[in-house]
Structure 1
Amino acid sequence: MSDITGAILAGGRGMRMGGEDKGLLMLRERPLAEYVIKALKPQVTKLIINANRNRERYAAFGYPVVTDHHDDYPGPLAGMAAALRHAATDWVQCVPCDTPDLPADLVRRLSAALADHQARIALPFDGERIQPLFALIHRSLLPELDADIAAGRLAVGRWMRDHPHVEVDFSDCPEAFANLNTPEELAAHQSCGD
């Protein structure tokens, strides 16, 4: 479990953000994706970014940019499938591009839980709900994921629970999984410290 690809999911339409590309929105003079890169990079051996718009701007961060293989923005599962398809490692740690407070030990805790289970997915549990966009996923699930996306089975949490998984307790830091989905949430976060 020492060789893991980190995948930043920035391929969505940003509908609740007025259609803006969330990973490129500025938080205290830095793009949101930059915070996620800074937090995730020390935890993984490789890093890729899933983006369907502004690919050249994401490429400027210095990491490979991969696009969805599936048409019409089918959602986060398509971004995860793109990451699994292009990863050079067996395990891929997914994280959304709009979570600037990512846990510094996310990968360590998820991978440690997998060492004790025969699971193919590790999911953070924040004390109230699972956080499927932060899944650590084995690349062998790609064929099933592609098939389910093609069939329109797009509910992320349901898809994760339908496969061998382990839920990992992160109830000590539920705020680390907060997405900045709306202009109001982004504005409120502007006043928080780094």
Structure 2
Amino acid sequence: MTKPLGIILAGGRAIRMGGGDKGLKRVGGVPLLDRVIERLTPQVSQLALNANGDPSRFDAYGLPVLPDSMPDHPGPLAGVLAGMDWAAEQGFDAIVTAAADTPFFPADLVVQLQAAAGPSGLALAASRQPDGRVMRQPTFGLWPVALRDDLRAALQGGLRKIVIWTDGHQAGQAAFDVEGFDPFFNVNTPEDIDEAEKLLRI
């Protein structure tokens, strides 16, 4: 199966950590974004970042930086749309998204999303807790480019919540078991950085 394009959603403003790019915050002396790139690169054909503002702050990565095409930064779905539009220009059928603040996501994320894809080719990741609860992880998904105009119309109509749109398209679900810690643990606060440092040592 063809590897999709990878889009790292790096638009978070790290308000709870004093501002700036969350992906550039360091864990174990290494920016979160570096860890996400290292994990996603083997799983995809090419990589790009979705981020707004001055793209030069990411120059060291040598990756395309895709700003939101929708005004007023309407959230992660705008980043998904930017990625889908870019993939269409490159001649790809799908993208996979990953969040820039989530350094431990599964190394088999893409193949599991592809295996779980619903009838439209859409799938979201989820983590299955030891007690059986399943928590959706909507910033980690497989998104068919064919749905980009539908997504654009939904955003223009005011839709912001990812799962409302994905549920409407019968998205499949790739659930990953939580063993020790949730692989979709994300860094939002200084305390989360401390926790991530501990997880690196596991």
Q: Where does the alignment leave 5 or more consecutive residues of structure 2 unmatched? A: 129-133
Asked if 2 retains the 8 angstrom alpha-carbon contact of 1:51 and 1:58, the reply is no
Matched, 1:188 2:195: yes
**Higher mean displacement: 54-63 or 140-149:** 54-63
Q: CA RMSD in A?
A: 1.7
Q: Aligned-pair distance for 1:68?
A: 0.5
| Mapping of residues 12-161 of structure 1, within 5 Å | 12-87=12-87, 88=90, 89-114=92-117, 117-127=118-128, 128-161=134-167
Q: Aligned-pair distance for 1:190?
A: 2.3
Asked if 1 retains the 8 angstrom alpha-carbon contact of 2:122 and 2:143, the reply is yes
Q: Report the 3-state secondary structure (helix = DSSP H, G, I; strand = E; otherwise coil) of the residue aligned with 2:188.
A: coil
Distance in 2 (CA, whole Å) between partners of 1:83 and 1:59 is: 18
Q: Where does the alignment leave 5 or more consecutive residues of structure 1 unmatched? A: none
Q: Aligned-pair distance for 1:101?
A: 0.4
What is the number of equivalent residue pairs in this alignment?
A: 192
Asked if 2 retains the 8 angstrom alpha-carbon contact of 1:120 and 1:164, the reply is no
1:103-135 Cα distance to aligned partner (Å, 9 max, x none): 100001111223xx5232111121222111001
Distance in 2 (CA, whole Å) between partners of 1:82 and 1:180 is: 23
**Higher mean displacement: 65-74 or 184-193:** 184-193
Q: What's the TM-score, normalizing by structure 2? A: 0.88
Q: Aligned-pair distance for 1:172?
A: 4.4
Q: Aligned-pair distance for 1:154?
A: 0.1
Q: Aligned-pair distance for 1:20?
A: 2.3
Q: Report the 3-state secondary structure (helix = DSSP H, G, I; strand = E; otherwise coil) of the residue aligned with 2:147.
A: helix
Asked if 2 retains the 8 angstrom alpha-carbon contact of 1:122 and 1:168, the reply is yes
Asked if 1 retains the 8 angstrom alpha-carbon contact of 2:28 and 2:200, the reply is no
Q: Which runs of 4+ in 1 moved over 4 A?
A: none
1:123-180 Cα distance to aligned partner (Å, 9 max, x none): 1121222111001110111111111111211011222111131112212456111111
Q: What's the TM-score, normalizing by structure 1? A: 0.91
Q: Report the 3-state secondary structure (helix = DSSP H, G, I; strand = E; otherwise coil) of the residue aligned with 1:148.
A: helix
Distance in 1 (CA, whole Å) between partners of 2:158 and 2:17 is: 24
Distance in 2 (CA, whole Å) between partners of 1:26 and 1:172 is: 24
Q: Report the 3-state secondary structure (helix = DSSP H, G, I; strand = E; otherwise coil) of the residue aligned with 1:185.
A: helix
Matched to 1:56, the amino acid is S
Q: Aligned-pair distance for 1:36?
A: 0.3
Asked if 2 retains the 8 angstrom alpha-carbon contact of 1:8 and 1:95, the reply is yes
Asked if 1 retains the 8 angstrom alpha-carbon contact of 2:85 and 2:145, the reply is yes
